[in-house]
Amino acid sequence: STPHHYRIASIPADGIGIEVVSAAIEVVEKLSKVLGVFTIEFTHIPWGTEYYKQNGRYVSADVLDTLRGYDASLFGSVGAPDVPDHISLWGLLLAIRGPLQLYANVRPVRVFPGTTPYLRGAEAKDIDWLLVRENSEGEYAGHGGTSHIDQPWETATEVAIFTRVGIERIMRFAFEAAQRRPRKLLTVVTKSNSMRNGLVLWDKIAAEVSKDFPDVKWDKMLVDAMTIRMVTNPKSLDTIVGTNLHMDILSDLAAALAGSIGIAPSSNLDPTRKNPSLFEPVHGSAFDITGKGIANPIATFWSAAEMLDWLGEPGAAKYLITALENVCAAGITTPDLGGNSTTKGVTDAVIKEIEKLH
Ligand code: NAI
Ligand code: MG
């Protein structure tokens, strides 16, 4: 049969995003050539802070139609030292996630072979989590306002929005994800003791949806206690679901516990597949290391593997992840993982490993 062809929008944007996305394109193109089971074409889209400085906006006016012309997007990071972070984030990433209804943000977390997790004594088998973050509403819904600017009584509100539709669809997605994993274990994170409206609704809907998944074991945690459990009893966790803000924070913690934010991938999915999904490393622009050539590209490689899996190439995805694991196991890592290699060094090693594996 003829290999499937995929068209990908590449949006490196800012900072180390530019360095890691170009490395990922190199790796995926090599994978495509070596395996011969799919072909792939990346189209560069120049949105980001440079674009903003020239055009007064982070994305073009037809942003959604543009992205709908591709099978998926591979995104780097948005944010620059000389633009306020809320302008850049809302200008680009949040201008895509909400309107395209990429409501499930999925973040697998594992300890890679040969790396040292921050969690003392933890081994690969102790941390194998799937974090599911509600990605379209909640605390990041953008509801709020500011009044009496610069007065002593200056006032701002940030209103969290929780809807039955929004909670139910992410809950169902999380139960399905847990059901597909060997342990069939789901932890629902809220803070429904102090947030007595929206997060009580989360608990209520979790209980309702759970009835459709009798084979999934589930429990509830308050987010503060969850940080303790992640550190003291990581083995007790498998799939985890929570709100936009809570999982934003917990996924950074999870990535650090398992090794480094430099390997953490994420998928922004429209599970209905009406809109193309977006794949990106969890990390940001990392101004402190931009241009030094030492950004860890693994998070973006792993994100690209998640993209291939989503597009219908699970074999290629697995192949790429094996190559990443072997390169880490061989000790070829960037400084964030304790090694002394570079972005290019790791990229070249992954490419060699892909050739060797075949
Ligand atoms: P950050 O993730 O950029 O950096 C946090 C720390 O992790 C830094 O010490 C950095 O050097 C390190 N780090 C991150 N990625 C790494 C990698 N691949 N390899 C090695 N080390 C890595 O978070 P920060 O500093 O809070 O944000 C910087 C900028 O990025 C801000 O403008 C922020 O708004 C933006 N940002 C954008 C995101 C996105 O586009 N999805 C996500 C997070 C932050
Ligand atoms: Mg974050």
Is the beta carbon of 262 within 6 A of some atom in ligand 1? yes
> Is the CB of 288 within 6 Å of ligand 1?
yes
What is the per-residue pLDDT for 120?
A: 84
Residue 278 beta carbon below 6 angstroms from any ligand 1 atom:
no
Give me the residue label for tokens 């999915």: 269
Ligand nearest to the CA of 285: 1
Coil, helix or strand at residue 102: coil
State what percent of residues in the chain have pLDDT above 70.
Answer: 100
Atom of ligand 1 nearest to the CA of 78: 40
Domain with CATH 3.40.718.10 in the chain: 1-105+264-358, 117-258
Binned at pLDDT 50, 70 and 90, residue 100 comes out as very high
* 100 close to 267: Cβ distance less than 8 angstroms: no
DSSP one-letter string for 238-271: -EEEE-HHHHHHHHHHHHHHHS-GGG-EEEEE-T
**Which ligand 1 atom is at minimum distance from the Cα of 93?**
40
β partners of residue 143: 159
3.90.1170.50, 3.90.330.10, 3.40.718.10, 3.10.20.740: which CATH number matches 117-258? 3.40.718.10
Residue type, 101: Q
Which of 58, 261, 334 to mutate to test ligand 1, by most ligand atoms within 8 A of the CB atom? 261
| pLDDT averaged over every residue in the chain | 96
Tell me if 74 sits within 8 A of 23, measured CB to CB: no
Q: Is 290 a residue whose pLDDT tops 70?
A: yes
Per the CB < 8 A criterion, the answer to whether 139 and 245 are in contact is yes
Atom 43 (ligand 1): residue with closest C-alpha? Answer: 284
Ligand nearest to the CA of 244: 2
Q: Is the pLDDT of residue 34 over 80?
A: yes
Average pLDDT, stretch 312-338? 96
With a 6 Å cutoff on the Cβ, whether 240 touches ligand 1 is: no
CB 23 within 8 Å of CB 31: no
Which residues, in sequence order, are CB contacts of 218 under 8 Å at separation 6+? Answer: 175, 178, 185, 186, 187, 188, 206, 210
Ligand 1 atom closest to Cα of residue 297 = 18
The string of DSSP codes covering 288-326 is TTTTTT----HHHHHHHHHHHHHHT-HHHHHHHHHHHHH
Q: What is the pLDDT of residue 113?
A: 86
Measured from the alpha carbon of residue 264, the closest ligand is: 1
Please tell me if the CB atom of residue 77 comes closer than 6 angstroms to any atom of ligand 1: yes
Residue 11 has pLDDT above 90, yes or no: yes
Residue 164 confidence (pLDDT): 98
Q: What residue has token string 């899996």?
A: 309
- What is the whole-number distance in angstroms between the Cα of residue 109 and the centre of ligand 1? 17
| Residue 212: both structure tokens together | 């459709």
Average pLDDT over residues 279-289: 97
What are 208-256's pLDDT values in tens digits? Answer: 999 999 999 999 999 999 999 999 999 999 999 999 999 999 999 999 9
What pLDDT score does 229 carry? 97
CB-based contact 279:267 (threshold 8 Å): yes
Query: d(Cα 7, Cα 216) in Å, to the nearest integer?
Result: 36
Q: Take atom 5 of ligand 1 and give the residue whose Cα is closest.
A: 286
User: For residue 1, what pLDDT is reported?
Assistant: 66
Q: What angle do CA 176, 178, 181 make, to 5 degrees?
A: 115
**Check: complex ipTM more than 0.95:** yes
> pLDDT category, 292, cuts 50, 70, 90?
very high
Phi, psi for 154 (deg, rounded to 5): -50, 135
The pLDDT tens digits of the residues spanning 113-168 come to 888 888 887 877 889 999 999 999 999 999 999 999 999 999 999 999 999 999 99
How far, in Å, is the centroid of ligand 2 from the Cα of 251? 7
Task: Please check the confidence at residue 51 and state whether its pLDDT lies above 70.
Answer: yes
List of residues 6+ apart from 221 with CB closer than 8 A: 187, 188, 189, 190, 229
**What percent of the chain lies above the pLDDT cut of 90?**
94
The answer, yes or no, to whether residue 38 has pLDDT greater than 80, is yes
The pLDDT of 274-288, averaged and rounded, is 97
CATH homologous superfamily, domain 1-105+264-358: Isopropylmalate Dehydrogenase (3.40.718.10)
Q: Which of 338, 333, 311 is nearest to 28 (CA)?
A: 311
* Cβ neighbours, 10 Å, residue 134: 27
Arithmetic mean of pLDDT, 50-79: 97
Ligand nearest the Cα atom of residue 251? 2
Per-residue pLDDT, averaged over 185-202, amounts to 96
C-beta pairs of 203-210 under 8 Å, 24+ apart in sequence: 205/164, 205/167, 205/168, 205/171, 206/171, 208/168, 209/168, 209/171, 209/172, 209/175, 210/175
